[in-house]
Amino acid sequence: MRIAIDAMGGDNAPDEIIEGALESIKLLDKGDTLILLGPAEVIESKLGAKNISKFADVIKIVNAPEIIGMDESPVDALRKKRNSSISIMTKLAADGQADAVISAGNTGACVAACQMRMRNIEGVHRPGIAVVFPTFEGPVTMCDVGANISCKPINFYQYAVMASMYSENLLGIKNPRVGIMSIGEEEAKGNEIVKKARELIRSDPKINFIGNIEGRDMFKGKCDVAICDGFVGNVVLKLTEGLVDGLFKVIKHEIKQQSFLLALRFKSVMMKMYQKYDYHEYGGALLLGVNGTSVICHGSSKARTIKNAIMASRKFYNMGINEKIKEYLATTTVKGADE
């Protein structure tokens, strides 16, 4: 498998990205290749310090002299910087020279580049990013968490289709229960687009649709798949991160006040918990709906995150759901009237 990695993407690029790639090598299969994209001289000098020759058969460098910043407008940046790591990386995938792409860079630019270069799977209107939330009641797949901030009903429907396949194929959940994120369990609640989306999803009997879910239901074992627009999903994702961090801080503080010894004993429990909710452990999220395998990483990814994202890209690639999505959408009678 050939995995292309945007060496210049994210707050800790290129050092942590390159370090993560190197750490993953021991976990790869024979014949696997890692393609690092960025200014060749930068990557070479970083690798030089680490004695690149011993990785020469695994690591390939593809020169991409331009860098898209985290705060640039995605569309403008892609138009102006055709030689950016994100642009060339997605072109490699489009040309069949890479089996998966990974970036911790500007999410908007990465999603747009995947759409422009690799194209959507036939029948897919807009791709969506799927993230798995580990909960006490089991994993919940949420889609979209940031690719599409102004969703139409047909987008919600297709997220329900694609995320169900993801849940079934990657997590082994048979006939996953799909809920749509809204502001009340009652049918009357939710904004107009969510209401229309609900009707559209309900019109497909193959989806195990349970209707509205509320924020709290994510952690109550009520659904296996949660559908929402990218704005809401992104807020949810980052809130969860921040809240878990914040809560552990409070617990630590309170325990220390009670007894230092108790704090020490609790530390191991906390570390175990922390891992379960730590995005670094998950590496990255799959961009559902594009032709190929695209893994979107957190902007503050570290070497460990990238290593895990590389391993995740292998799982996503081997899951092979793109063909199934294409078939499903070719035969469904549910069509969006508005796109």
Binding site for its own copies (CB under 8 A): 70-74, 107-108, 135-137, 146, 149-150, 181-192, 214-220, 228, 230-232, 234-247, 249-251, 253-255, 258-259, 262, 265-266, 268-269, 272-273, 276-277
Alpha-carbon gap, residue 141 to 218, rounded angstroms: 9
* Nearest to its own copies of 219, 338 (CB atom): 219
Min dist. Cβ of residue 31 to its own copies (A)? 38
* Nearest to its own copies of 45, 191 (CB atom): 191
Which H or E run contains 47?
helix 40-48
Min dist. Cβ of residue 201 to its own copies (A)? 18
Q: Given its phi and psi angles, is residue 321 left (phi above 0), alpha (psi -120 to 50 degrees) or beta?
A: alpha
Min dist. Cβ of residue 295 to its own copies (A)? 19
Q: Is cis: bond before 14, omega within 30 of 0?
A: yes
Q: Give the phi and the psi of residue 232 in degrees, each rounded to 5.
A: -60, -45
* Nearest to its own copies of 135, 169 (CB atom): 135
Min dist. Cβ of residue 38 to its own copies (A)? 21
Alpha-carbon gap, residue 155 to 228, rounded angstroms: 9
* Nearest to its own copies of 28, 273 (CB atom): 273
If we measure between CA atoms, which residue out of 105, 25, 118 comes closest to residue 67? 105
* Nearest to its own copies of 146, 292 (CB atom): 146
Q: Where are the alpha helices (DSSP H) in 277-302?
A: 279-282
Contact 237, 131 (CB under 8 A): yes
Beta-strand relationship, 284-288 and 128-133: antiparallel
Alpha-carbon gap, residue 126 to 115, rounded angstroms: 8
Min dist. Cβ of residue 135 to its own copies (A)? 6
* Nearest to its own copies of 86, 325 (CB atom): 86
Min dist. Cβ of residue 58 to its own copies (A)? 34
* Nearest to its own copies of 305, 322 (CB atom): 305
CA dist list (Å): 127 to 90, 113, 170, 263: 15, 12, 18, 45
Min dist. Cβ of residue 13 to its own copies (A)? 16
- Tell me the three state secondary structure of residue 68: coil
